[in-house]
Structure 1
């Protein structure tokens, strides 16, 4: 197993556009999914996005946690509900993410930002992924 990291920041209400967030059927027209910058409905479906959507491919769970920390810290000044996020905290998020990734479970964080924006950061387990038999986008 190896890992790929993905992120998206944009207008939170855009996530309602499910047509752009659902992959096409295997034999169907690719539709808007591949071209859309929106995060997929299912976390594992990030692996279906084009290779250039990969932000990082960390060599270990520890490196993936460093990537998540960087994304969190970059978004932190814009958090909409800082008091709510403080109750969760980066430490607990990282502890849970480390346990999940070590067990082969994908991790996705989503946080509302000021101005109706939303940030999502995902670390996806690849080759194999426990939720889908998607091929590695980096090959």
Structure 2
């Protein structure tokens, strides 16, 4: 498992363009920069939209924390960055995607996404960067003892 980072910032009113946020034919999904409706759908986007790839949850959470600090210089009084960072590491280690997003000012929206790959919710979506998934762990079969 590895993690891909994605980002989008812009006019939050554009998030209403659902046809660009869903992988439907003719909706412009693949070429859109808007965040998908489902986190795992980021993996359907071109590799050029990937902002970083990491092999450890800590490295992916560090990237999220750096981006969040850029967009939230005064911090978040409800969930301090060290706590948010710790939760992100635990979620990513559990193969869960992590989204840090917020309204900035007026209609400005900022979102940063750490997506697990391969994604357990969307296991048939291949890695957009062409990274091979690790081979499955060997299974151990126990034979019944003969009497």
2:12 aligns with 12
1:33 counterpart = 2:29: yes
Return the TM-score normalized by structure 1. 0.87
The CA distance in 1 between the partners of 2:26 and 2:92, in whole Å, is 29
Q: How many residues are aligned here?
A: 129
Structure with larger RCO (C-alpha < 8 A, sep 6+): 1
For each residue in 1:29-66, what CA deviation from the matched residue of structure 2 results, as whole angstroms up to 9, or x when unmatched? Answer: 35310111100000110000110000000121111111
Correspondence for 1:130 among 120, 125, 135: 120
SS in 2 for 1:57: strand
Return the TM-score normalized by structure 2. 0.82
Equivalent positions of 1:1-139 (< 5 A) are 1-24=1-24, 29=25, 31-77=27-73, 85-127=76-118, 129-132=119-122, 133-139=124-130
Structure ID, larger Rg: 2
More helix by share: 1
SS in 2 for 1:115: coil
Runs of 5+ consecutive residues of structure 2 not aligned to the other structure: 131-147
Runs of 5+ consecutive residues of structure 1 not aligned to the other structure: none
The CA distance in 2 between the partners of 1:8 and 1:92, in whole Å, is 23
The CA distance in 1 between the partners of 2:126 and 2:113, in whole Å, is 17
- Check whether the contact 2:99–2:111 (CA below 8 A) recurs between aligned residues: yes
Spell out structure 1 runs of 4+ moving beyond 2 A: none
